[in-house]
Structure 1
Amino acid sequence: MTTSRYDDPRLEHLPGADADAMALSEVLKDGAIGGFAVDVLKDRTRDEVARGVQRFFTAAAPEDLLLLHLSCHGRKDSRGRLHFAARDTEVDTLEASSVDADFLNDRMEQSASQQIILLLDCCYSGAFVKGMRTRAGEHAVDVAGNLGGRGRFIITSSTSLQYSYEDGERSRDGAKPSVFTTAVVQSLRHGTGDRDGDGHVGAEEFYRDVCDRVRRILPDQTPTLSVNSAIGDLVVAFNPAGPRPNRPAAVEPVTATAHEPVAVTPSTDYPFDPVKGSGYDIGEVMNHLRQVIDLISDPRRTMPVQPPFFPEVSGKRDIGYDKQQVDAHILRHLVEPADFEIALSRLLREQRVALIDEGTLGGRGVTRLRERCQVVGWERLVGHVRTGRTVDSRWAVAYTSTHLCVLDATHLLRIPYRELSSLSVSSTSRWETWSGSNDQAGWGGETEVVTTTVRFGPQKAVFEGFYGELMRDALNDFVAAMVDLRKRHPDWFA
Structure 2
Amino acid sequence: MLLPDPALSRAVLVGVHDYRHLAPLPGVQAGVGRLADLLCDPAVWGLPRRHVTVLGAEVTADRILQAVRAAGEAAAETLLVYFAGHGLREHRSRELYLALADADEEEHLTFGTLPYGELVAMLRREGFPARRRMMFLDCCYSGLATSMGGGSVAVVERCDLANLVVETGSGEGDPGDDDDTDFVGHVMTSASGTEESYTPAGSYPLFTGALIDVLEKGIPGAGPALSARSIWQYVRQQRIGSTPQYKALNSREHEPWVRNRAHDARSGVPARRVLPAGSEPMLSPVVPSGELRFATVKGGGYRIGVVKEQMRDVIAKVEDPRLGWQAVPPHFRTVSGRWFQGWDTEEVDAYVEQRRTEPTEFIDALRLLLARQGITVVPGGGPVVGQLTSRFAKKGAVTFTESHLCLKSSAARTSIPYAELENVFLATSHEVVDTGVGNDQGAFPSESLILVTEVTCGHRTLEFREASSAPVRETLRAFLPAMKALRARHPEWFRMVP
TM-score when scaled to structure 1?
0.41
If you compute each CA radius of gyration, which structure gives the higher value, 1 or 2? 1
TM-score when scaled to structure 2?
0.40
Higher relative contact order (CA 8 A, sep 6+): 2
